[in-house]
Structure 1
Amino acid sequence: MILSIVICIAAIILIVFLFMQFSPQFGGKASKDAIATYKMSENYKDGIFKNTNEVKLDMSLKDMGKSLLGFFKSQPNTKPNQDLPLIKIDSLNVANYKGLTRLVWFGHSTFLLQTEGKTILIDPMLGEVPSPHPALGSKRFNNELPITIEKLPKIDAVLISHDHYDHLDYESIKALKDKVEHFYMPLGVGAHLLKWKVDKNKITELDWWQETTFKGLKFVCTPAQHFSGRGLSDRAKTLWSSWIVQSSTDNIFFSGDSGYADHFKSIGKKYGPFDFAMIECGQYNKMWPEIHMFPEETVQAGIDVKAKKIMPIHWGAFKLAMHTWTDPIERFTRTAQTKDITVVTPKIGEQIFPKDTTYTAKNWWK
């Protein structure tokens, strides 16, 4: 009996080891030449990337146990009882669009952005489960997306904020890579795309505060307070970021994942005001307050970056924390009502126009 248990445990360990060694989901590792360039970054020390502020990334065993129990324990309303309202968009609509700057939300942090005739995807996690294996994560709330990857037309650029599974998805990149002209990401993330056979000439990595231009647009890689990693041994081996997209008519901010800190004020001072800001609001917990914002902090972050309109994101698609699925949007809108700000709360797939002065926020989640 004891021998059988030992054999079973050894077999499980071997399977896990082999999976982590050979599954492409875990991505790649930076080359020695790449690491040599990272050492020139102020954010890279002792072999890993660092936040500007001292951030505690490791939970105690007690907190880790509470987190795991809370996640797997059946809790009311952490997921919707049915698919969320969704508006479909067809490929011709995307391919032929030449109008004012618009965005389409796919839930969580994924967006289709179209401006000045260019089509951009932001954090294109279009898979069903944000994990290295379907059995290890919670399935997307909706069975459908506004448009499938297969029906997406040519994409001019993809912006990636960091390498966590709910923002960088192997299957999505594999399906997109031949449709995309260029990928932009923080330092280190390119190693994953290279592992996934993306042409190295289509990959640009940027450090915080670095700018680049693309077909008349300006992309700025800006700070965030978070962390990175896809496996057990690559914590903080790649950088995380927020992004700014500037056209001749619009100034747009995307927060990526971030805890609340003074970098929002720095971004607002240097690049604000913003016509539209998509700011993280979801998957928070008092056990990790420095790497994800509470909804009240999301409102303040929007004020800090000097956003004319604020949209709460990082909710509405996956269960990655123990709060109810509507808690982020309910707390955000309640707090926003006490401030002089304009809130944007679209359904998944609904068109968003940063310069639209007639938009009225809707409480569709109720």
Structure 2
Amino acid sequence: MNRVTFSVVAIMLLAAATTLPFVLNAGFGQPPQGAQLSEVEASPHYRDGQFHNTLPTPGFTGQQNMLVAWWQFLTRKTENARPAQPLPLVKTDLASLSPEQDTLVWLGHSSWYMQLAGERILIDPGLSSYAPPFSFTRRRSPLSIKPSPATIRGGRKGCRRSIC
């Protein structure tokens, strides 16, 4: 057996070995029972013996093809898509926050500042040496920051860890 054939067979066996336990599980794809059924029945979306979506989903029930469903999703006007009045913006002085208070501040896009158990943590994938969520989705940017802030140690007031 050559390498390509062996690799294809190995990948198929690995996929089967990781998928089968879920598919063959007695509860997989079955209606909820016991405590799980009670939880579903308590939902305001459960009536007449079945769960009802808040919005119609014909694109995923075989009533229309995927291209039509995507087009409608991208072009449909949605009620209440914008707030009736502007959302309040609160300027936060991060240095004045009490270190004892657990805090989460959204800085925009995917950036967050957290204070947990007296530790200050800045989360910003854009400052890492490689930001995509999966390594296979994009190539590394030739403009990446060297060294990345995640590798810089100490030197910041109030920071005890290298991730500040």
Q: TM-score, normalised by structure 1?
A: 0.20
Question: Which structure carries more helix by proportion?
Answer: 2
Q: Which has the larger radius of gyration?
A: 2
Question: Which structure carries more strand by proportion?
Answer: 1
Q: TM-score, normalised by structure 2?
A: 0.37
Of the two structures, which has the highest relative contact order with CA contacts closer than 8 Å and spacing of 6 or more? 1
